[in-house]
Structure 1
């Protein structure tokens, strides 16, 4: 009787999770982009492995953290532009 080999975790999925966490802490924008890229690569690798690799949850978590961080950055840029654009508009009206 042979014992089945334990499934390995996708390295890309682990990198996606770590990059997603870094995207919220030490490397705000670059970590988020890396999380998105490696998350997609990890999920593709897991799908192609025919059940030999684990880690889809890690990859999805990295993707979610990455996309949420990017969304927050985009929202902050829009708020910044609207706020200072509004100030410039008010200043133009008063002069």
Structure 2
């Protein structure tokens, strides 16, 4: 019985670490790095499933990265709505 040892994809680990950094120290840059390396890791693992593992790590990095990017987009949208509404209110109140 030969048990082959599979190596964890280093890109998957980088994706997870970058995803965590995207929520803490490097908000936008870490999130983008997590998404890019997460997709690269998943394709690398799919090409060599007998040699590599770590798909869960890559997915976790992707989820953290995409959630952080979505939250940033929603925050920017909310800021525009707030200040746009404030400007409209002040314009109509000044009449």
Match of 1:17 in 2: 16
How far apart, CA to CA, are the structure 1 residues paired with 2:50 and 2:12? 15
Deviations 1:6-39 (A, max 9, x none): 1100011000000000000000010000000000
Equivalent runs, 1:43-58 vs 2, <5 Å: 43-58=42-57
Match of 1:89 in 2: 88
RMSD: 1.1
- Gaps spanning 5+ residues in structure 1: where? none
- Gaps spanning 5+ residues in structure 2: where? none
Runs of 4+ in 1 over 3 A off after TM superposition: none
The CA deviation at 1:5 is: 3.7
How far apart, CA to CA, are the structure 2 residues paired with 1:57 and 1:44? 13
TM-score by length of structure 2 reads 0.94
Q: How many residues align?
A: 94
